[in-house]
Amino acid sequence: METAFLVCAALGGTLLVCQFVAGLVGFGADHDFDADHDHDLGADGGDHGNGFLSLLSLRAGSTAVTFFGLGGLTAMYYGVEEPAAFAVALGSGAAALYAVAAAMKSLAGLKADGTARVERSVGRPGTVYLRVPAAKAGPGKVHLMLQNRTVEYQAVTHGAELPTGTPVKVVAVVGPDTVEVEAA
């Protein structure tokens, strides 16, 4: 039984080291094998994606195998009988599987798409970069601070021409990359 624990610890540890090295050299970014399945088979409309299958990934599995082996080896070292050592090994592996899966799930929730939303520009101050012609005769360009970065949008105005360097305020969104501005 001790040999089985040793093989599990070595195999799982080797997989973990390989995953770590692959991550360092650029492999492994979002290449985790998740088996998160969400099937609605009944009329209850419940979320079935949080079950056991959402815990399975290569990273969590290799960690579970490693800790299964280490837990069993530790129990055997302290003179625990084989059935109890196997139970300790199973508990260690299950705890490691759950801990890594929970950590990966919470880290996945930190993802942000980073897209600057033009809808959030209404009311924001900015500066004219390329003159904005009067009476919506054509687009100019403005720079705005939006979501902690400087963005450039095409701009139109109802009023008089706005020369380069004029402080403006966004009053409406005209299109996906065009805003309506007025002098601030």
CA distance 161 to 180: 13
Confidence band for 57, pLDDT divided at 50, 70 and 90 = confident
**What does the pLDDT look like over 114-143, one tens digit per residue?**
788 899 999 999 999 999 999 999 999 999
Cα R_g (the chain), whole angstroms: 29
Task: In whole angstroms, give the CA distance from residue 44 to residue 69.
Answer: 40
What are the phi and psi torsion angles at 30 (to 5°)? Answer: 60, 35
* Model pTM above 0.75: no
Question: In this structure, what are the phi and psi dihedrals at residue 179, rounded to the nearest 5 degrees?
Answer: -125, 160
Residues 20/84, Cβ–Cβ less than 8 Å: no
3-state helix, strand, coil in the chain (%, to 5): 45, 20, 35
At 33 the pLDDT is 45
> pLDDT: is 36 or 28 the higher one?
28
From 1.20.1440.130, 2.40.30.20, 2.40.50.140, 3.30.559.10, which CATH number describes the 118-183 domain? Answer: 2.40.50.140
